[in-house]
Amino acid sequence: NITVRGQLKCKNRNVADTVVELWDKETLEKDDLMESFTTEKQGHFFITGYETQISKIKPYIKIQHKCGAREGCLKVTEITIDQMWVGKQKDLAFVYLDRDTTGDSDAMMSVRDECPPKGRA
């Protein structure tokens, strides 16, 4: 199991009503969604996930949001959590969606845009 907490920010404002998902990265299969949590008014999240398997889980957080996204698109932010936190609680502090950083210097973050396919003329 693992617990991850933090607070979402966009341009120094709290990000409420945004889904934060906790996933387990799989090597040969589709990744497993362990739990999801919708941020409250102040942008806080507190999420715990469990997985039963022989090897250690490889947890990461996934957030789909509009902070800094192009019009009509979403940004997808993924934060890899080091395996040393499995069985413990990881505090990411602030997750700055507009700066692609967290208040935790050892968190690895990747960001990509997801845009719907453009229609043909």
Q: Which residues of 81-100 are buried (b: 16+ CB within 10 A; e: fewer)?
A: beeeebeeebebebbbbeee
* Token reading at 49: 């996930």
Each of the 121 residues of the chain gets a pLDDT tens digit; together they read 999 999 999 999 999 999 999 999 998 889 999 999 999 999 999 999 988 877 788 999 999 999 999 889 999 999 999 989 999 999 999 999 988 887 776 778 899 989 988 764 4
Cα 92 from Cα 46, distance rounded (Å): 10
Query: pTM for the full model?
Result: 0.88
Residue 100 CA: distances (Å) to CA of 62, 83, 94: 13, 21, 11
pLDDT score of 119: 61
Token pair belonging to 2: 């693992």
Only one residue has tokens 């404002």, namely 13
120, amino acid identity: R
Token pair belonging to 34: 């362990």
